[in-house]
């Protein structure tokens, strides 16, 4: 089995549509794990808005299925209001909070999974509401020295990888070439082996590779 980490930090679904031929189709996958939405709805510097996000995500999903490949949709982690406010444009999270933006994205993803009858990995439920203590599965000053508020810890990535592995094992046919397509959540920002599926990588594609091999 071969697993490709096609995560690119900072990118939204608009960027993903442009990258699809090289990042996904060129690998001839028989399974794609799709995780987008954090930048579309939470990144004040690369925001698309809910309606464009919905259209783009559906197009990406349909392109994956047309390869043809099995498709697994992942919801996005919940984000911490305190740290997101400090990293983005002033006022961006005042009218709509970080948690509410995450929930809007996850409602879109869940709706699309139901519409297309494809597996859904409930990442937000797995990682929970991010706290400010060391037990949080989202990076913060207490667990990583970083006022991040949106990217998982290595333990958080382990939970994502385990859930994705379970979804892969439930597919009607076991895939041999899996592309994990997404933004910095998939890339594994700040993690050892980020952007790879190397044997010692802490990002979820790397941990997924170990589980499935």
Residue-wise pLDDT tens digits, 116-172: 999 999 999 999 999 999 999 999 999 999 999 999 999 999 999 999 999 999 999
**b/e burial code for range 100-116 (CB count within 10 A of at least 16 → b):** ebbbbbbebbeebbeee
Q: What is the pLDDT of residue 125?
A: 98
Q: What is the pLDDT of residue 70?
A: 98
> Would you say 40 and 105 are in contact if contact means Cβ atoms under 8 Å apart?
yes
Q: What is the pLDDT of residue 90?
A: 87
Q: What is the pLDDT of residue 95?
A: 86
- Flag residues of the chain having pLDDT under 70: none
Q: What is the pLDDT of residue 67?
A: 98
pTM: 0.97
């Amino acid at each position: 089995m071969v697993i490709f980490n096609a995560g690119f930090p900072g990118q939204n679904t608009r960027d993903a549509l442009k990258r699809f031929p090289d990042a996904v189709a060129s690998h001839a996958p028989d399974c794609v794990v799709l995780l987008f939405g954090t930048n579309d709805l939470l990144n004040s510097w690369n925001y698309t808005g809910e309606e464009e996000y919905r259209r783009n995500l559906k197009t990406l999903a349909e392109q994956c299925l047309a390869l043809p490949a099995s498709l697994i949709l992942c919801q996005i982690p919940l984000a911490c209001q305190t740290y997101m406010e400090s990293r983005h444009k002033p006022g961006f999270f005042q009218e709509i909070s970080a948690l509410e933006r995450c929930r809007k994205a996850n409602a879109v993803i869940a709706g699309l999974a139901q519409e297309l009858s494809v597996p859904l990995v409930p990442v937000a439920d797995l990682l929970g509401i991010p706290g400010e203590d060391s037990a949080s599965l989202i990076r913060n000053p207490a667990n990583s020295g970083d006022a991040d508020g949106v990217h998982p810890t290595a333990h958080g990535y382990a939970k994502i990888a385990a859930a994705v592995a379970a979804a892969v094992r439930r597919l009607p046919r076991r895939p041999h070439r899996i592309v994990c397509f997404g933004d910095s959540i998939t890339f594994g920002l700040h993690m050892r082996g980020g952007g790879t599926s190397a044997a010692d990588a802490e990002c979820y594609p790397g941990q997924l590779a170990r589980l499935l091999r």
